[in-house]
Amino acid sequence: MSRVINFSSGPASLPETVLRQAASEMLNWQGSGMSVMEMSHRGPEFMHILANTQALLKNLLGIPDNYAVLLLQGGAIAENAIVPMNLIGKTGQADYVVSGTWSLKSQQEAARYGQVHTAATSEALGFQCMPSQAEWKLSDDPSYVHFCSNETIGGVECHWTPDVGDIPLVADMSSNIMSRPVDVSRYGLIYAGAQKNMGPSGVTLVIVRRDLWGHALPITPSAFNYQLQAEHDSMVNTPPTYAIYIMGLVLQHIQQEGGLKAMAELNQAKSALLYDFLDHSAFFSNRVAPADRSRMNVTFFLRDETLNAEFLQDAEAQGMVQLRGHRIAGGMRASIYNAMPLSAVQTLRDYMFAFEKRHA
Ligand SMILES: *Cc1c(COP(=O)(O)O)cnc(C)c1O
């Protein structure tokens, strides 16, 4: 059976070469006589895989030495609690910028662990833009300021690095990490689940500046204590070994393709193709403020929403799946992460053009 063009928001498409390599190594990883899934996490083979994945992360993102790179379980939703558990104890309060469903969820979870202040929100505008820097009103003494760099559901992306002075900046980068270069030194902490741009679900990347720890709330579970995990090289508990291995293969693939600069160019070209089409269409539209449109999740609506089912059905008949928007947002969404080739985005655009013509 041939493979579909998969526009899933996550878990999402992976590079086919990665899947093929994983398949070829499934029963016997590099002469070890074992599958990666069967290896002791403390054995020399897996230690090599872990070190390789960590080195690729540091190399691709240019992570400075004063940051710890953790590979944990729980996903970004668990981090919504783990971040405040580790960081909010410094002053007891934290600021949140709310630009969509995910950052709202982060804020609500954090409120269980301390005082939470909304520094800015675009909720009244239907989460169709990123609150500008000028709108951010920080509280007196926040332990950190949290924002989401790409709202996967609304299709809103922050295309600038916020400036919050000496206060640690915390970012949920789950859905746009590895899509372009990032100046890690501008952040106190970055977290991201792997299943959008880096690999399968099950592993969560946390990049944390070492001077931020030491304030963990006493209730913080050991497995979720950043300092403890850093001191044990993410092995306080058994790490998600197979997911870390696949992440390493994906990162190696990104490096071979030219690194994050090349990813940025490709993602810019792919998303521009769709937004240009949407802006010239009388049949489809995107509702996000042009300056804040996501390069990863392109959301759009049909003018006549009674045709939604037909649009999805015909797309599926042509091998394009998972275009339905999130139930909260409605409409359609094409998630076009790193692994989505330009040719697949062209195929979608051509399909949309033909559908529009047919229903004009
Ligand atoms: C997918 C996603 C999450 C949720 O990740 P889980 O793995 O389900 O915890 C959180 N934040 C953003 C921005 C996401 O895209």
CATH number for the domain harbouring residue 246: 3.40.640.10
Query: What's the CA gap between 172 and 52, in Å, rounded?
Result: 24
How many distinct structural domains can be found in the chain?
2
Q: Which of 228, 256, 284 is the last residue of a domain?
A: 256
Residues 354 and 317 in one domain: yes
Pairing of strands 297-302, 189-193: unpaired
Residue 202 belongs to some domain of the structure: yes
State whether residue 353 is helix, strand or coil: helix
Say if residue 132's pLDDT is above 60. Answer: yes
Pairing of strands 204-209, 67-72: antiparallel
> Would 9 be classed as within a structural domain?
no
Give the rounded distance of the alpha carbon of 189 from its chain centre. Answer: 14
How far, in Å, from the CA of 216 to the mean position of ligand 1?
23
Same domain, 48 and 176: yes
Indicate if 216 and 308 belong to the same structural domain: no
Residue 295, burial from CB neighbour count under 10 angstroms (0-12, 13-18, 19+): buried
Tell me whether residue 10 is in a domain: no
Among 230, 256, 282, residue at a domain's last position = 256
Q: Is 4 domain-assigned?
A: no
Percent of the chain with pLDDT over 70: 100
Q: Which of 237, 256, 275 is the last residue of a domain?
A: 256
Query: Hey, how many other C-beta atoms are within 10 angstroms of the C-beta on 327?
Result: 7
Q: Ligand 1 test: best mutation among 72, 77, 106, 328, most atoms within 8 Å of CB? A: 77
Q: 282 and 211: one domain?
A: no
pLDDT digits (tens, 9 = 90+) for 15-60: 999 999 999 999 999 999 999 999 999 999 999 999 999 999 999 9
Residue nearest to atom 13 of ligand 1 (CA): 174
Cross-sheet strand order for the sheet of 189-193: 67-72, 204-209, 189-193, 169-172, 145-148, 93-98, 115-121
Summarised one tens digit per residue, pLDDT across range 321-337 is 999 999 999 999 999 99
- Ligand 1 atom 7: the closest Cα is on which residue? 75
User: Are 251 and 342 members of one domain?
Assistant: no
Whether residues 84 and 20 fall in one domain: yes
Of residues 29, 172, 213, 292, which has the active-site annotation? Answer: 172
> Do 328 and 281 reside in the same domain of the chain?
yes
* pLDDT tops 70 at residue 1: no
Looking at the fold, whether 318 and 267 belong to one and the same domain comes out as yes
CATH of the domain at 286: 3.90.1150.10
- Same domain as 283, residue 184: no
Pair 278, 223 in one domain = no
- 102 given a catalytic annotation: yes
Q: Say if 251 falls within a structural domain.
A: yes
Contact partners, residue 171, CB within 8 Å, separation at least 6:
146, 147, 148, 149, 187, 189, 190, 191
Question: pLDDT by residue (tens digit) across 56-106?
Answer: 999 999 999 999 999 999 999 999 999 999 999 999 999 999 999 999 999
Owning domain of residue 192: 16-256
Query: How is 112-125 classified by DSSP, letter by letter?
Result: TTSEEEEEEE-GGG
**What is the 290 CA–ligand 1 centroid distance (Å)?**
24
Ligand 1 pocket test: which of 102, 103, 295 has the largest number of ligand atoms within 8 Å of its C-beta?
Answer: 102
Q: Residue 52: helix, strand or coil by DSSP?
A: helix
Give the angle subtended at the CA of 48 by the CAs of 231 and 206, to the nearest 5°: 45
Which pLDDT value is given to residue 360?
A: 82
Residues 309 and 210 both lie in one domain: no
CA distance linking residue 78 with residue 193, whole number of Å = 10
| 3-class DSSP state of 66 | coil
| Same domain, yes or no: 40 and 136 | yes
Please give the full DSSP string across 288-323, using - where no structure is assigned: S-GGGB-SSEEEEEESSGGGHHHHHHHHHHTTEE--
Q: Measured in angstroms, how far is the CA atom of residue 354 from the centroid of ligand 1?
A: 33
**Please, is 282 exposed, middle or buried when counting C-beta atoms within 10 Å of its C-beta (0-12, 13-18, 19+)?**
exposed
Is 338 part of any domain?
yes
